[in-house]
Amino acid sequence: MGVAKRTDYWTSRLNGDDPTSPTVTRNNQAWSVEFGSGGSSVDGYWVTSNVQYEILNTPEAEAATGMTIVACFSYNTVPNDDTMLLYLSTGGYEVRVLSAGQKVKLVGTTTVTSDDLDISMAEENPVPLVLRLTLDENNVGRLYMREIIEDDDANTHYLEVNANVSSSASQHNLRFGNYAGAGSGEIKWASVYATTDGAFGPDELATSDFATDTLIRMALSVVETLRNSNRLYLKTHMDDSAIRYGYDLTGEMLSRQPAPFINVVLRDVKSPQFSALGGGSVDQTYEVLVYIITRGTNYENAFRMGLNIAGEVFDEVYTTTGLKGTTDSLMEYSLELDHRTNQEDLTCVHLLTFTYDRRINMRKR
């Protein structure tokens, strides 16, 4: 799908309150009861035993974008197998998440089952499960578990299926709950977030609006911009895995990664002053660091290639992200050129620093 645009946000947000009457009403669509009844607030959770909620939308608004729903929940009592927990339908196609004991199943044209997730409250200090279900414009459904995209071994940590044909192409809706009559179980819903703006993975729209505005829109969006570039070195010398966000900048990590590669880091975020009374709009300043790492048969070759790549990075970032004067402005940049201090050193690291100013609407939270 790509990083959420500044106009994309969670169109429905629940944090343990009544889905049909959410506490926050500004820019926050309420749910309606589709099947069953009941539900009660208990210690900040919304507890259900036989009810399903839905948001029904007209197809014109969402036909080409897809949908996303994120739910954090745990079981007081485990529902019967195949009880529907989450559901998305758009453009005549649908995907659903069904219960399977301590696992879940993603159902489309095929069915895939998760590993054990331990969703019950049996443990002394249980951690509620977070599931993210998306259905994109290509009618592909994904289920992310605990907001993890890759595990420690770099294996994908989500389930994926092609969506089933829906019985009604004119209805686009989102559902959550556990309506199944006897045996529906009792579920504690901590939070449910949903958007009709698109199908977003964890690195494309975070559950925290602050995290989306900072890490995703200002750092991961630079990664996406560089990956999509058609400039010479960016296109021909580095695949997507060589351009990434650099959570780990240790020497050990740098030595393992084949060169050339690029690490993007968000170093600093601050808001010197609010742009409107009451904080409805703020100006935020960001510092984005871009490390360009190259190696060569000799240092001069590594230095020259690194400088060319740094030039392409600057041109791409400047022309695609820094010229929106009313919302995003590139205020300052600097380039630190590496120099050789060891005769045996064949690795060159150049550092580009971009300083942005961005105006953000704080109301859609």
CATH number of the domain encompassing residue 356: 3.30.2000
With respect to residue 144, please indicate whether it lies within any of the assigned structural domains. Answer: yes
Cβ atoms < 10 Å from Cβ of 362: 17
With respect to residue 7, please indicate whether it lies within any of the assigned structural domains. Answer: no
With respect to residue 4, please indicate whether it lies within any of the assigned structural domains. Answer: no
245 and 122 in a single domain? The answer is no
Residues contacting residue 313 through CB under 8 Å, at least 6 positions apart: 226, 234, 262, 290, 292, 352
- Calpha distance 203→2 (Å, rounded): 9
CATH number for the domain that contains residue 191:
2.60.120.200
Q: Which of 141, 170, 195 is the last residue of a domain?
A: 195
173 and 56 in a single domain? The answer is yes
225 and 297 in a single domain? The answer is yes
132 and 233 in a single domain? The answer is no
Q: Which of 169, 195, 221 is the last residue of a domain?
A: 195
165 and 16 in a single domain? The answer is yes
* Tens digit of each residue's pLDDT, the chain (365 residues): 578 887 888 999 999 999 999 998 888 999 999 999 989 999 999 999 999 999 987 655 444 578 999 999 999 999 999 999 999 998 789 999 999 999 999 999 999 999 988 787 655 556 789 999 999 999 999 999 999 988 766 678 899 999 999 876 667 889 999 998 888 899 999 999 999 889 999 999 999 988 888 888 888 889 999 999 999 999 999 989 899 998 777 777 666 778 899 999 998 888 766 555 555 677 788 899 999 999 888 888 999 999 999 999 999 998 887 665 556 678 899 999 998 766 666 788 999 999 988 777 666 66
Q: Which of 172, 195, 218 is the last residue of a domain?
A: 195
Burial of 365 (0-12, 13-18, 19+ CB in 10 A): middle
pLDDT at 363: 67
pLDDT at 91: 72
With respect to residue 5, please indicate whether it lies within any of the assigned structural domains. Answer: no
30 and 65 in a single domain? The answer is yes
Tokens 């589709």: give the residue: 34
Q: Which domain holds residue 231?
A: 209-361
With respect to residue 200, please indicate whether it lies within any of the assigned structural domains. Answer: no
With respect to residue 54, please indicate whether it lies within any of the assigned structural domains. Answer: yes
Cis amide prior to 126 (ω within 30 degrees): no
64 and 18 in a single domain? The answer is yes
Q: Which among 310, 297, 312, 305 has a CA at the least distance from the CA of 336?
A: 310
β-strands 243-245, 261-270 pairing: parallel
290 and 174 in a single domain? The answer is no
With respect to residue 100, please indicate whether it lies within any of the assigned structural domains. Answer: yes
**Domain total of the chain:** 2
191 and 293 in a single domain? The answer is no
What phi and psi, each to the nearest 5 degrees, are found at residue 82? Answer: 75, 15
157 and 131 in a single domain? The answer is yes
181 and 218 in a single domain? The answer is no
With respect to residue 87, please indicate whether it lies within any of the assigned structural domains. Answer: yes
